[in-house]
Structure 1
Amino acid sequence: MQTLIPSLRIIAILNRSPLHLHKNALNLRSLSSTSSDYNQSRGGLPRFFSETLPPSKGSVVRVEGDEFWHMTKVLRLNIDDRVQLFNGKGSLVEGRIGAIDRIGVEFEALENPKLVSPQTTQWHVFAAFGTLKGGRADWLVEKCTELGASSVTPLLTERSHSISANRVDRLQRVILASSKQCQRLHQMILEPPLEVVGLLPIVAQSKLSFVAAAEATSVFSTLNSLRKEQAGVLIIGPEGDFTMKELNDIVEAGATAVGLGPHRLRVETATMALLSTLMLWSDSQEITPS
């Protein structure tokens, strides 16, 4: 029995120490739970959307609605906490919360707004996701925003022929939330739904267009033989794929059919696979002058 007591004490200490460490960590966090600590853990000041930004240092604008709720109720920011506002068009300004009332806050600019140029990579997504269920369309749009797509257009086809107005409103909110999360200053554009016949002139005018198609040449093999570009169109069909006529029309308009592997992919999976490939390909290329 005497030889077991030290072992039992060691086991008890080992079992207890993570809990004590956790409590100590919580105590330290509670002592220093300022907005600056929150920001450092996420790489910058909390960022919020506002269509109107202060025109110059010292100017004040009000922030209300969902952004006010997120700022004060979710993050529990208070007077004098520093935050950023962006307008989704490349402008960003740092400031402080000057006042809080029942329905909004007053944001005071601590500097003049900065204007950031849009990224040079401009890929436009046309995907037939209008009939996707269970949050899959939300996921598609969210990831397109994070990956840097310039725009997303719901494509209307024979097998995905509609998208509800309520769905479009929801997707706009998804884009805004995702833009804030990934700190994207130029908000991705959600274009109005478009039928295949309306897509054909866009393909014809684009320098580079790709359409995902089963049994087509691998996208990597295709890219190896193409002139380097940082902009273009990518097209993904609906569940059940394009009809043969739709696919032929798109290819005849100028799109290149590309394969994404041996497996049948969902709409959102195919969109991510092709967009990720093209974004990485574009970003890794030195553009040859025209």
Structure 2
Amino acid sequence: MQRYFISAKQFGDSDIRVTGEDAYHAVRVMRTKPGDKFIVSDGESRTALVAVREATPMQITADIIQMLPHASEPAWSVTIAQSLPKGDKMELVIQKGTEIGAYSFIPYESERMVVQYDAKKEAKRIERWTKIAKEAAEQSHRSRIPEIEQVHSWRELLVLISSYDLVLFCYEREGDAAHGKGIRSAVREWMDGSGERESIAAPAVLLIVGPEGGFTEREASEAEAAGAVLVGLGKRILRTETAGIVGLTCLLYESGEMGGA
């Protein structure tokens, strides 16, 4: 069933309004007409099944049939910190990460970053990335749209580490089975230590993914000193746009989201 995100002010006591591009899409593309049903969410606390009363490309008015529970969000809030990749790879990370269940995304600059960051284009890119996250959240029946933060510097990212319950730094050298630590062992050590699992109902986890050129030893040392745990994602070297998706899936599996705990 089609789903749309609307603002809190578009939610009434007994009906809702869908406007702008969403109304146009619903009427012109999805051929929505009076009597049709779809789901709306304000991205915060309200999700409802509604039936269309009036429909034009400018606005849809629909009556609330039933309020629905927020049952599609993971218990763990996992943020993917992704070093800016070249081309449209960030779009893939956001689209697939949103589908899987990422809480938010932090694009950042790193030492071996291949792409040339242009601050003048940032606003337009954030706008496009947010639209991609919205569409992916609608498609995957999320109850909220992941936030896309402004581009951070490496130093700004290091400062953020202390604000998370668990931080995993994806480092290709840790993928060596001879000495490396994987996500499963890192997560289980964290959950076993100091009663973390019982004391934190909804852990905030940061997954740091490097650029096409990989992390430098200095960056790995600085991240570890700031409180991050260095982990590998297996014996193979993954592309930057693949690593975050794999890491996020592993984390949600270990949290029990996919029957893993």
Q: With structure 1 as the length reference, what TM-score do the two structures score?
A: 0.74
> 1:71·1:77 contact (CA, 8 Å) conserved in 2?
yes
> 1:131·1:162 contact (CA, 8 Å) conserved in 2?
no
Q: 1:227 is paired with a residue of what secondary structure? A: helix
2:34 corresponding residue in structure 1:
79
Query: Which whole-Å CA distance do the structure 1 matches of 2:108 and 2:100 have between them?
Result: 20
1:56 corresponding residue in structure 2:
13
Amino acid at match of 2:111: E
Amino acid at match of 1:74: V
Query: Which whole-Å CA distance do the structure 1 matches of 2:129 and 2:147 have between them?
Result: 11
Q: 1:215 is paired with a residue of what secondary structure? A: helix
Q: Are positions 1:218 and 2:181 aligned together?
A: yes
Q: Which runs of 4+ in 1 moved over 6 A?
A: none
Q: Evaluate the alpha carbon distance shift between residue 101 and residue 187 of structure 1 in structure 2; reply closer, same or farther with a 3 A threshold.
A: closer
Q: 1:175, CA displacement in angstroms?
A: 0.5
Query: Which whole-Å CA distance do the structure 1 matches of 2:92 and 2:247 have between them?
Result: 15
Q: Evaluate the alpha carbon distance shift between residue 190 and residue 102 of structure 1 in structure 2; reply closer, same or farther with a 3 A threshold.
A: closer
> 1:53·1:85 contact (CA, 8 Å) conserved in 2?
no
Q: 1:100, CA displacement in angstroms?
A: 2.6
Pairwise CA RMSD: 2.2
> 1:89·1:187 contact (CA, 8 Å) conserved in 2?
no
Write out aligned runs for 1:163-202 (5 A). Answer: 164-202=122-160
Q: For residues 6-45 of structure 1, what are the alpha-carbon distances to aligned partners after superposition, in whole Å with 9 as ceiling and x for unaligned?
A: xxxxxxxxxxxxxxxxxxxxxxxxxxxxxxxxxxxxxxx3
Higher RCO, 1 vs 2 (CA within 8 Å, ≥6 residues apart): 2
Query: Which whole-Å CA distance do the structure 2 matches of 1:46 and 1:173 have between them?
Result: 17
Query: Which whole-Å CA distance do the structure 2 matches of 1:175 and 1:101 have between them?
Result: 25
Write out aligned runs for 1:129-168 (5 A). Answer: 130-133=84-87, 135-160=88-113, 162=117, 164-168=122-126
Q: 2:190 is paired with a residue of what secondary structure? A: coil
Q: 1:166, CA displacement in angstroms?
A: 2.0
> 1:78·1:97 contact (CA, 8 Å) conserved in 2?
yes
Amino acid at match of 1:263: R
Q: 1:213, CA displacement in angstroms?
A: 0.8
Query: Which whole-Å CA distance do the structure 1 matches of 2:132 and 2:140 have between them?
Result: 12
Q: 1:153, CA displacement in angstroms?
A: 0.6
1:205 corresponding residue in structure 2:
163
> Runs of 5+ in structure 1 lacking a partner?
1-44
Q: 1:273, CA displacement in angstroms?
A: 1.4
Query: Which whole-Å CA distance do the structure 2 matches of 1:101 and 1:151 have between them?
Result: 33
Query: Which whole-Å CA distance do the structure 1 matches of 2:181 and 2:167 have between them?
Result: 15
> 1:141·1:152 contact (CA, 8 Å) conserved in 2?
yes
Q: Pick the structure with greater CA Rg.
A: 1
1:263 corresponding residue in structure 2:
236
Q: With structure 2 as the length reference, what TM-score do the two structures score?
A: 0.82
Aligned with residue 125 of structure 1, among 80, 103, 120: 80
- Count of matched residue pairs: 237
The sequence identity of aligned pairs, in percent, is: 23
Q: Evaluate the alpha carbon distance shift between residue 258 and residue 119 of structure 1 in structure 2; reply closer, same or farther with a 3 A threshold.
A: closer
Q: 2:144 is paired with a residue of what secondary structure? A: coil
> 2:32·2:55 contact (CA, 8 Å) conserved in 1?
no
